[in-house]
Amino acid sequence: MDTDYPMLNESFYTRNEVVRVAKDLLGKVLVTNVDGVISAGKIVETEAYSYLERACHAYMNRNTNRTQVLFERGGTAYVYLCYGIHRLFNVVTNVAGIAEAVLIRGVEPLDNIEAMTRRRALKKKNYSLTSGPGKLTQALGIKMEHNREWLLNKKVWIEDRGYVIAGDEIRESARIGVAYAKEDALLPWRFFLRENPWVSKGFNNYNL
DNA sequence: GCAATGATTTACT
DNA sequence: GTAAATCATTGCC
């Protein structure tokens, strides 16, 4: 099984500007093939992280078992367990050796909504299906075993279906849940599509 | 070895 | 609005 759209290639991810990549991922489509079941959603919310700032797990090039994957080349998946419950999906960016990544925080369901609804144990589709970083990984079947997966391997990948995002469709804000990062928590490195109901909720979506 | 802590979600009151 | 769930990772003793 496959889709008929072009995958983002390695050079999209290896650019030396994680904030740019975070913005460019808006409107792209995150696809998974889990045991032959393909499901997909359009990316509507992202956050950038860099070794240069305190919110990043690899701040100051901290190299541990968990953060090693952040030093891989751009186009590698970084999945980690958050709060002991949720898996959060990131795309590693930049060249090997430079620890930067983009967290995917919201997608708009496109393909195989039935499978996603089932994985989320919802009775029917509603906005809680994929509007949050832990929700969308559950809906798309992303698990810890996808950590370190190469995004051109057609297990988990991102493709361009031609959605064009106008500049004034993009809103930005500080990142969510990183107050511990002190002044770096103020960086406007969260990006989302204006008035899109699949952006994560329960937080202050200022700049709307 | 041990205690603290999350890049969250959900179910309560 | 508040709190519980739940555990790998981390840092410190």
**pLDDT value of residue A136:** 98
Query: Does pLDDT of A148 surpass 90?
Result: yes
Query: Does pLDDT of A113 surpass 50?
Result: yes
Residue nearest to nucleotide C1 (CA to C1'): A202
Query: Does pLDDT of A157 surpass 80?
Result: yes
Give the pLDDT confidence of A29-40 residue by residue, as tens digits.
Answer: 999 999 999 999
Give the pLDDT band (50/70/90) at residue A153.
very high
Average pLDDT over chain A reads 95
Residue with tokens 């002190």: A182
- The answer to whether A200 CB sits below 7 Å from nucleic acid chain B is yes
- The answer to whether A11 CB sits below 7 Å from nucleic acid chain C is no
With CA of A89 and C1' of each nucleotide, the nearest comes out as B7
CA A207/CA A172 separation, integer angstroms: 7
Using alpha carbons, select from A131, A125, A110 the residue that is nearest to residue A192. Answer: A131
The stretch A74-90 carries a mean pLDDT of: 97
**Cα–Cα distances in Å, from A115 out to A28, A53, A77, A126?**
20, 37, 22, 14
What is the DSSP code (8-state) at residue A73?
A: P
Q: Which of A19-33, A97-111, A190-204 has the lowest mean pLDDT?
A: A190-204
What does the CA dihedral A92, A96, A98, A103 come to, rounded to 10 degrees? Answer: 0
Contact A79, A69 (CB under 8 A): no
CA A6/CA A199 separation, integer angstroms: 25
- The answer to whether A135 CB sits below 7 Å from nucleic acid chain B is yes
Superfamily of domain A10-191: Methylpurine-DNA glycosylase (MPG) (3.10.300.10)
Query: Does pLDDT of A207 surpass 70?
Result: no
CA A77/CA A153 separation, integer angstroms: 11
**pLDDT value of residue A4:** 86
**pLDDT value of residue A203:** 57
Query: Does pLDDT of A169 surpass 80?
Result: yes
